[in-house]
Amino acid sequence: MPRRALCATLRSQRWGGEGLWAAAWHTVTHRPRAVAGWALSCLLCFLRTLTSFFLLPSKGPGSLAPRAEPWESSPEQRVYWSRGAGLPLITVQTDPCAFQVELARLAEESMYFGALARSQMQEAAERWLVLEHVPSGAFRAILEFVFLEHFGLGEEELLPAIQAASYLLVPSFLEQCWLALRPLLCPHNCLSYLRFAEAIGCPEMRAVLCQYLSAQLLELAPVTGQLAPALLEELAGLRTRGPQQLCVLRKENLRAPATSATEPLHGLYCLPLAQGGTWHRATGLPFRADKWSFSTAQLLNYLFLIGGYRERRGARGFAFRMAAFRYNPLAGCWQPTAPLLKRRRHFSTAVVGQRIYAIGGWYLDTLLAPDGGTALYAAVERYNPWSNSWAFVSSLPLTDFTFALSLSHDLPLCAAHADSIYALGSVQRTGEKLLLRYDVGAGEQSQRLALPGQGPSRPRERGP
């Protein structure tokens, strides 16, 4: 048999890849090395085929490839119209199938096809449009929704359909996609979905993902903590865009016994600030106890409850349990957080730069009112919501600075502004009332400011 005839015969039989045909030509033209070359090529071809067999995704027992849908092989099932046959149709070529579609109806739902229908473009005149970058399955899902009001996409089909609908500007279909997407979101996939939305330039999908992340900003701290600072600020801002409401709770109860009459004390009550709002019980407190002492702080639109409550220890004994919780008004639920490092009550809190500072207070376990022997804690603690942890920072200078003790308010009286915390106290030697300024950035007590009517201020007098 001539060489060319043998090569043509080998090609027509389609035994394998190009390497096999090259080996066949090499065998015929170079007979002295035929055996070694042929054996090597056959071995490589076998290994490649075996590897492909094991790497093919399996859709079920005995299945090596997804089965084609009936509409893929039936042109009649790829024709869509809504107002009866006879109306002009446009042929849309997708990858790999072509569809016959009523342009007028599709133009009502898709701004892309609406612009095409109003234009003088060649595609509109010839009624032939090529969209080879749009998968046929995704385009068919859009047509099924527009013409038949049918939406039934699985998770694997959702992203290609979103990308196609975002490109073709089909907002009604995208709304259905968001309804299907929200139940699928979880900490393991939300960032992948967010990157996909940004990659395809779909602001609507990005908004859905940002809404999910912001609603659970601290619950998803292991995820949100890795985001860029600008995006993190955006998510924090989204949490404050809803209706405003005022919240109140009983932060301390050391006297009233636990009875049915005191049950209302165990509630968080909210008042919507919109006109006509009324007080209502939003939820109960996240613990059951007859006595408790907490301080509160608001950070990132979460309500933090920090302190402790009394619980039974043994048959007759009681002890205070250190505890802390945060309330998410967007989810309407409490979650436990890390407690303080020191057992303290009646302490003040201040929020600066997405951190909570616990200042002052005295020993948690005592139920007595403060007296001359009560010592105010000098230690200051700072809470990081992203790591859910407390750490000690610069202490209060109590060697020559005192604070009035009272049960009427947390101690010392504090206020936060910009990057500073201000605490009201008195100089022991003179009784002069001063504001002690704590510089958060520098991490130290940096200034003492005299109050009006008590002489000149003393700028930049460093504390010990």
Q: Mind listing the pLDDT tens digit for each residue in 295-308?
A: 999 999 999 999 99
pLDDT at site 259: 73
70 SS3 class: helix
Q: Count the alpha carbons within 13 Å of 29 in the hemisphere toward its beta carbon.
A: 9
Instruction: Please identify which residue in the block is written with the tokens 């200051």.
Output: 380
Rounded CA-CA distance 51/43 in Å is 12
Which residues have CB under 8 Å from 238's CB, separation 6+? 210, 211, 214
pLDDT at site 22: 36
Rounded CA-CA distance 140/142 in Å is 5
pLDDT at site 18: 40
* pLDDT above 90 coverage of the chain, percent: 54
CA distances from 258 to 158, 206, 255, 384 (A): 54, 49, 9, 34
Domains of the chain: 1-34 (no CATH), 76-238 (3.30.710.10), 286-450 (2.120.10.80)
Burial class (CB in 10 A: 0-12, 13-18, 19+), 127: middle
CA angle 436, 440, 442 (to 5 degrees): 100
CA distances from 335 to 229, 324, 329, 330, 343 (A): 25, 9, 12, 13, 20
pLDDT at site 2: 42
pLDDT at site 408: 65
Rounded CA-CA distance 404/424 in Å is 9
Going residue by residue through the chain (464 aa), what tens digit of pLDDT does each one get?
Answer: 443 333 333 333 333 444 433 333 343 344 444 445 545 555 544 554 444 433 333 433 334 445 688 999 999 999 998 866 667 899 999 999 999 999 999 999 999 999 999 998 999 999 999 999 999 999 999 999 999 999 999 999 999 999 999 999 999 999 999 999 999 999 999 999 999 999 999 999 999 999 999 999 999 999 998 899 999 999 999 999 988 999 999 998 877 676 777 788 899 999 999 878 899 999 999 998 888 999 999 999 999 999 999 887 776 677 889 999 999 999 999 999 999 999 888 899 999 999 999 998 887 666 555 555 667 788 899 999 999 999 999 887 766 666 666 666 787 888 999 889 988 877 767 777 878 888 887 776 666 767 776 555 444 444 43
Which pair of structure tokens corresponds to residue 147?
A: 């013409």
pLDDT at site 84: 65
pLDDT at site 345: 86
Rounded CA-CA distance 161/167 in Å is 10
Q: Are 358 and 306 in contact (CB under 8 A)?
A: yes
